[in-house]
Structure 1
């Protein structure tokens, strides 16, 4: 529920008046309608209509005619673009995966595992993940025996160019040998310069965050609940190993070369996450508290079912169950195809999870998971980019008729929609207003 004590700017008052005039309902009433629609779907009840979620990264830039780099270097303009996108298309819930990271901060930190528009990439590019090993194959023992020291002296210097001097620090246990060693380290020019740059980055990020503001609160004031919240335990520890430590190739090779150490690292990362996890905040917008979780290496193309059962699912399942215990509804985005993995979701408590599919056959997913797990998806990105509104309408109609029966369906795009035709996005969002489950 929207908090009653919120204050509104003049612009927010104007927008609220326009929304109420258009719909004949207050933003608060629209907010509760949308929340109930999504909640019913999650809890496997058939809502008044199938809810729609709009997920985007740089689509607002394409929609309003600005550069993708705006998301990183002009937070005020980017905020306006995101707000216009949500207000114009009116999804039931939305997820904005951009505008969180300052390009100025990235320029200072020099991250090795990402590239972004306006920085290393052209202004209209999409951001790119770079496969970098921050932990070598023979360093598992160092990592497992002293993860704090390893993170400080190995991981961070390899993940951020600015932090390279940390690689020359002595072991943390050696620093405790006496005050003289600590002062000797801190007096070195490279560490003094590093401290200045870290302060500079912190100030830049604070300025950026203040300019973006609280989009979640701003959209809630206009009647739009968020798709997801922050918090919880997160997703699959194997993905963290693959994404941030060993790289994709390294993690895949480790399944054969050092399987026990790989599993031990996954279990340790899970324990870290559990220790720092916070329960869902009842004062934040959204009910239930949905938690987006990106999955990367659990798809069919990366490992067999046998490998999935050994390396991926055990710690991922524990993470999902812990998220549920903390009051969240996990919404794992099963990027790629998960047709051979569907039955695993039946091991989770009924009506507590949303399985968001990308390339998975939604009709088969409905057949297997009906009456147990809400499914979400999967209007193909290519269809939204090069198809016609009629094509999109027909695709959505089939999904709604079949997968929406009995509840348990949230309609959304499959993956990235950076260059989707606006008229196709509108067709996707309008389809549930025209069609109902058979």
Structure 2
């Protein structure tokens, strides 16, 4: 088959699962940030700072591993930046959703460290928690979250912007805007090249759990948990205040031009949600502080016609039943540490199940053990449709053994047919 035929075969396989049907076989949806670099012989520094090397590494990996979709994620969480620019500079909002190494070099943000900069050339980039918003600033934030992010948080977050309106800050913003353009062009070129090879990409919008915005970017995890006891009403109000902004984020970033949808061949728009605080909260705290505002955003995103694609990071066992409150079959759920059999037991086909082997297996195991693992998982969970996400705890690790990744692909082809 040529690239066009392969593309439509893989796209149909993915769409069928999202639409609640069983395809010809279980699709493999891969995400990676360093595996492709090391497989192609590049350092982490190479692919994070050089868009051409990143492109070449991704294409080599796509040629050698028969994934049904492939996402190269070369950034760290940056929803705070996207929300900051959404109203006053919407042209920057989508490109700022992830903090890239090249952005960090311009803005000198306080959240991230990068290989070849603060870290060793082959290190994985790091996201650092930091208190940006003070405890006595809740009222100011709740009154106008967007204004607070712009006027208060941004100068504290990025030292290059600490003096708004100064020549230095203006120059940094100009460089930042230009770099967003370069990164966007590189991403578009990569998606186009993958498409020619037969690997589809879904249009993707971005949103976030409201309370994760507070813990990841403003108060940090330790303080937000303490605030649930010290200032519970303020925590709830701050999360509620973010619901309209995060709903607008999904709307803005998911406004895909018709010509793009036509080129990609699909009407599906996924909306990406990574959950972080969920594992830290007991059911009572989750239900009281975390779930109401997240549920509100999810329902609005579904109402828009988008498909929430949620990474349930950590162990989500205690909170599974809350997903019964969402419309059936409208959410894709990637479960990090929760056994997919448990998900099936509690939710059946309420959500579109995505799971896979953890990176510990891809790194330290062997092809036979991978085959055994996949045979058991697919036998127990594939009925009704599911997707496999290799390295389910964060995407395929840079330390994963290529022969184990190949064994996973072969096992899915062997045991994943319907």
- TM-score of the superposition, structure 2-length normalised? 0.87
1:52 to 16, 21, 28: 28
Cα gap change, 1:33 to 1:204, in 2 (>3 Å): closer
Q: Distance in 2 between matches of 1:204 and 1:436?
A: 42
Q: Please list every run of 5 or more consecutive structure 1 residues that lacks an aligned counterpart in the other structure.
A: 1-24, 167-185
Matches within 5 A, 1:305-320: 305-320=283-298
In structure 2, stretches of 5+ residues that fail to align are: 76-97
Superposed, 1:28-427 pairs within 5 Å as 28-98=4-74, 102-166=100-164, 191-226=166-201, 229-231=203-205, 234-276=207-249, 277-278=251-252, 279=254, 281=256, 283-284=260-261, 285=264, 286-299=266-279, 302-416=280-394, 417-427=397-407
Structure 1 residue 395: Cα displacement: 0.6
| Dislocated runs of 4+, deviation >6 Å | none
Q: Is the 8 A contact 1:75 1:208 kept in 2?
A: yes
Say whether the 8 Å CA contact 2:203–2:268 is kept in structure 1: no
**TM-aligned CA deviation for residue 220 of structure 1:** 1.7
Distance 1:132 1:433, change over 3 A: same
- Write out per-residue CA displacement over residues 405-430 of structure 1, whole angstroms, 9 at most, x where no aligned residue: 23244443212312101111111122
Say whether the 8 Å CA contact 1:135–1:155 is kept in structure 2: yes
How many corresponding residue pairs?
A: 387
Larger radius of gyration: 1
Change (3 A) 1:351 1:205: closer
SS in 1 for 2:163: helix
How many Å apart are 1:287 and its aligned residue? 4.6
Q: How many Å apart are 1:290 and its aligned residue?
A: 2.4
CA spacing shift, 1:105–1:333, aligned 2, 3 Å: closer
RMSD over aligned CA atoms reads 2.0
Deviation at 1:208, TM superposition (A): 4.4
- Are the counterparts in 1 of residues 25 and 416 from structure 2 also a CA contact under 8 Å? yes
Structure 1 position 345, deviation (Å): 1.4
Deviation at 1:351, TM superposition (A): 1.5
Counterpart Cα distance in 2 of 1:411 and 1:108? 33
CA distance in structure 2 between the partners assigned to 1:146 and 1:235 by the alignment: 18
Deviations 1:226-274 (CA, angstroms, capped at 9, x unpaired): 2x53325x13111111111111111111111111111111111111122
For residue 101 of structure 1, report the CA deviation from its aligned partner.
5.3
Q: Which residue is 2:94 aligned to? A: none
- SS state at 2:270 partner: strand
